[in-house]
Amino acid sequence: MVAVSTSIPLDTEALRADFPFLEEQRDGKPLAYLDSASSTQKPRQVLDRMRAFYEHEYANVHRGVYRLAERATEGYEGARRTVAAFVNAPSEREVIFTRSATESINLVAYAWGLQNLGPGDTVVVTELEHHANFVPWQFIASKTGASFRHIPIDDAGELRLEVLDDLAREGSIKVVATGLVSNSLGTINPVERLAAWAHEQGAIMVVDAAQAAPHRTIDVQALGCDFLAFSSHKLCGPSGIGALWGRRELLEAMEPFNLGGEMIRSVGLERTTFNELPYKFEAGTPAIAEAVGFGAAIDYISEIGLPAIEQHEHELTVYAMDRLGELKWVRLFGPPVERRAGIVSFDVAGVHPHDVAQILDWDGIAVRAGHHCTQPLMARLGVAATTRASFYLYSIAEEVDRLVDGLHKVKKSLG
Ligand SMILES: Cc1ncc(COP(=O)(O)O)c(C=O)c1O
């Protein structure tokens, strides 16, 4: 059970009691953790579930006939059902556990891309993409002889959809791969529209939902995509596990990505045949307790309610953009608040983002400084790095105030 009701607004006070990291204080204050886009903190409900699993239910999965192994398998497969329901997958067989969103995208790029791309084909990504949804496609395109193109952004960090017709005229588009929410700017991309366009071109639509799934309701059927990737550690779950949802007929037709135990039907000296979905794509012993923790994290955030989480983050983002907007020496990047998620990237005039982050840390404020794994985007913005504050369900307005006070200090000492 979570410590809040499902009503809007969130009872952050009660909810923050679920997070042990907030119990540690420095100078009488808990850490102002404003780096949830990078990874989220874990509530007791997830930690307790994983501990109980290890203490009472742990064995390897899918192979033992003894009861403990059956229980472990039930925990693991129960988590798969939870993930499937979370994204409204038509079938739990379409959900593959991976190590991360990164591995999910690599799986598609390798297993679908190597089989289906060739000279004359085009892969389209966006200028906003995280490297996880950029580099695998760039690499597989170059391996297969396909062209690699991108949808550029405008000065506000939003996709310039007017280029789609030109892209379509240039070649046979086979893959459109875009994030639902940009990790650097918070831009919310029009994925339904891009999915419809991708299908008009005869392409598959691959959605990187790493920054969306933790914060807003995801429905793969409504999005109209073919593959969707996300990670557990960004939604209050453990690291080391992520998920890939894929359309069954595409997954069925794909060759395996990793090979070894578990993913086979039969192995002979001459020939091996492969297991059914989803096991064909899950070679070796999986991250079992992590899957259970992933399921517990989804239960946790679902019980709070994704709409309530999204609304809470939106209000904080409005507040943060207002307050940061008052600082004449701070440049904000990204779209208007109505079209962005809980992420605010900015530049403090005359101060390197690493110095900003370090000085803020002295006051117990954790922000991210760097290129955020979006170097093409940084090049487009004309900066090497930004400072980024990002919010989650446990973030509060007082932390935004601490950030603003901290930035005044930064400006005073270095600006
Ligand atoms: C938009 C986006 N895509 C993909 C990833 C990669 O996620 P992971 O590191 O969990 O594989 C991230 C992580 O920051 C991200 O923000």
Residues 294 and 46: their CA atoms lie apart, in Å, by 8
Q: Which residue has the tokens 């999965």?
A: 61
Consecutive 10-residue averages of pLDDT for the chain (415 residues): 56 96 92 98 98 97 92 98 98 98 98 98 98 98 98 98 95 96 98 98 98 98 98 98 98 97 94 96 97 98 97 98 98 97 97 97 97 97 97 98 98 86
Other C-beta atoms within 10 Å of 165: how many? 10
Pocket of ligand 1 contains residue 206 by CB under 6 Å:
no
Three-class secondary structure of residue 252 per DSSP: helix
The answer, yes or no, to whether the previous bond of 20 is cis (omega within 30 of 0) is: no
- Beta-ladder partners of 273: 266
- Give the residue, out of 234, 241, 294, 340, with the most ligand 1 atoms within 8 A of its beta carbon, to mutate for a pocket test: 234
Ligand 1 near 183 CB (within 6 A): yes
Centre of ligand 1 from the C-alpha of residue 137, in Å = 15
Closest CA to 13 of 407, 354, 396: 396
CB atoms within 10 A of CB 88: 14
130, 134, 282 from 92: Cα distances, Å: 27, 27, 14
Q: Output the CA 1–ligand 1 centroid distance in Å.
A: 28
pLDDT digits (tens, 9 = 90+) for 163-177: 999 999 998 999 999
pLDDT in the model for residue 9? 84
pLDDT in the model for residue 27:
87
Q: Which two tokens stand for residue 401?
A: 């105030």
Q: Provide the H-helix boundaries in 87-171.
A: 101-107, 114-116, 135-144, 164-170
Sign of CA dihedral 81, 84, 85, 91: negative
Question: Is 231 close to ligand 1, i.e. is its CB under 6 Å away?
Answer: yes
Q: Are 365 and 356 in contact (CB under 8 A)?
A: no
Report d(CA 199, CA 78) in Å as an integer.
33
132, two tokens: 């996880």
Taking the CA of residue 104 as reference, the ligand 1 atom at the shortest distance is 11
Distance of CA 308 to the CA centre of its chain: 19
CB 90 within 8 A of CB 251: no
Residues belonging to the active site: 373
- The answer, yes or no, to whether any atom of ligand 1 lies below 6 A from the CB of 208, is yes
Backbone φ and ψ for 92, nearest 5 degrees, come out as -70, -20
Ligand 1 close to Cβ of residue 179 (< 6 A): yes
Please work out, in degrees rounded to the nearest 5, the angle formed at the alpha carbon of residue 17 by the alpha carbons of 15 and 18: 75
CA distance 303 to 46: 13
- Residue 107 has, within 13 A of its CA and on its CB side, a CA count of 32
pTM score, whole prediction = 0.97
- In this prediction, residue 6 carries a pLDDT of 44
Q: How far apart are CA 178 and CA 164, in angstroms?
A: 14
Q: In terms of Cα–Cα distance, which of 198, 245, 243, 197 is closest to 220? A: 245
Taking CA atoms only, the protein residue closest to ligand 1 atom 16 is 183
Is the CB of residue 102 below 6 angstroms from any atom belonging to ligand 1? yes
Ligand 1 centroid, distance to 79 Cα (angstroms): 21
Distance CA 22, CA 238 (A): 18
- The answer for residues whose C-beta is within 8 angstroms of residue 258's C-beta and 6 or more apart is 281, 283, 284
Question: How many A from CA of 269 to the centre of ligand 1?
Answer: 40
Contact partners, residue 361, CB within 8 Å, separation at least 6 = none
Range list of β-strands (E), 14-79: 25-26, 29-30, 32-33
Residue 270 to residue 322: CA distance in whole angstroms: 67
**Distance from the alpha carbon of residue 219 to the mean position of ligand 1, in angstroms:** 19
Beta-strand ranges (E) seen in 304-402 are 330-333, 343-348, 365-366, 368-370, 386-390
